[in-house]
Amino acid sequence: MSLTRTAPRWRRREGLRALLWLSPWLTGFAVFFLYPLLATVYFSFHRYDLFTLEFIGLDNYRYLLRDPRALVAIQNTLWLVVFMVPVQLVFALGLAQLVTRLKAGAGFFRTVFYLPSLVPLVAGTVSFVFLLNPATGPLNQALRLIGVSGPDWFGDPAWSKPSLTLLGMWGIGNVMVIFLAALLDVPRHLYEAAEIDGAGAWRCFRSITLPLISPVLMFSAVTGVIYALQYFTQAMIAARVASGSTDSPGTTFVPGYPEMSTLTLPQWLFYAGFRDYSMGYACVLALLLFAASMAFTLVLLRRFRGLDEEGGLR
């Protein structure tokens, strides 16, 4: 009888102790994640301009389906996820492979490839736009010398996103360093054994390198996708500088210059909330972004789990 009474009390005490240890995390979770998330859901059903709050049901969600710029922003963001992220990962992996194979000067090249990632985003983007200026940029001037008319990199909607991808590749040093560490961690004897068995370079890469660095690949892919979904600063700065618009009183800066091709979902969210004061609608966009991040992360986790378990890409 006494045992049955004391056991739950003991369990309760253990539970409380566990809660106490967990409380810093729980507090942080509640304050910085749960409350904002619930507030975002709550506001998404309201018209809210920071001062007045009015319940409007699903109007903000219906507006999303009619908002042509939101749809363009979604398409642009997906483009970055589908094209920019893989290109960056492949490029970073290629650079890391290259540096591991260098017999001399590996430290120098490692530093050179890493340095751009230390440049502040705004400064790097402005420099890139000046570098690729169709009239005065050194790249197009050099192309003109050999008789090639260079594109309007950040001013032509067909070229603007590839130009942002170039910018992303230039600043990929931090991912390269992570890949480099993972590559150096692969036991050399596995390659030696495979070579004795007659495996070529591609076979070694596919069957040894890839499976062994897959956790790092997964980490980089997931963080890369989340980063692409939150892509904001470079796109906004590039658009502002390339358009030549000062956004001074009386003039209008058109986000996503040229022709909305660099308008991303986080930018549109920002404009909806903090320029138009349509906070309710901005919350809908934020929830969409959250759902997309979760969906991409889950898909990538499943995909990489398969890679890890089966020892190769499926």
Partner 1 sequence: MFFTQHHRAQEAPVHRTVLAVAALAALAVSTACTAGTDAPTLGSQPKPSGSASLPAATIELWHGFAADSEVKAFTDAIAGFNKKFPQISVKMVKGVQDEHITQAVRGGNAPDVASSFTTDNVAQWCRSGVFQDLTQVIKQDGIDLSVLPAAARAYTEFEGKRCTMPLLADAYGLYYNKALMKGNEPPRTLSELTRLAKELTVRDPDGTIKVAGFIPSTQYYENSLSHLGPMVGATWYNPDGTSAIGSDPAWKQLLTWQKELLDWYGYANLETFRKSLGDEWGAEHPFFQGKVAMVLDGEWRNAMIAADEDAKSMDYGTAPLPVADAKPDLYGSGFTAGTVIGVPRGAKNPQAAWELVKYLTTDTDGLVTLSNALRNVPTTKAAMESPALAKDANFATFLQIFEHPKTTTLPSNVNSVFNQEAFSTFVLEWEAGRVKDLDAGLAKVDKEINDKLKLSGG
CA distance 10 to 17: 11
**Smallest separation, CB 48 to partner 1 (Å):** 7
Shorter beta-carbon distance to partner 1: residue 4 or 252: 252
16 near partner 1, judged by CB under 8 A: no
Which one of 92, 175, 278, 292 is in contact with partner 1 (CB under 8 A)? 278
CA distance 216 to 183: 10
Q: Give me the DSSP letters along 85-142.
A: HHHHHHHHHHHHHHHHH-SS-HHHHHHHHHGGGGS-HHHHHHHHHHHT-TTT-HHHHH
**Smallest separation, CB 159 to partner 1 (Å):** 13
276 near partner 1, judged by CB under 8 A: yes
Max CA pair span of the chain: 96
CA distance 116 to 55: 48
Shorter beta-carbon distance to partner 1: residue 150 or 312: 150
264 near partner 1, judged by CB under 8 A: no
CA distance 9 to 17: 12
52 near partner 1, judged by CB under 8 A: yes
Shorter beta-carbon distance to partner 1: residue 54 or 185: 54
CA distance 295 to 287: 12
274 near partner 1, judged by CB under 8 A: yes
Which one of 119, 126, 131, 259 is in contact with partner 1 (CB under 8 A)? 259
308 near partner 1, judged by CB under 8 A: no
CA distance 309 to 296: 20
245 near partner 1, judged by CB under 8 A: yes
Interface residues with partner 1 (CB under 8 A) are: 34-35, 38-39, 42-43, 47-54, 59-60, 63, 66-69, 133-136, 152, 155, 242-246, 248-260, 274-278, 281
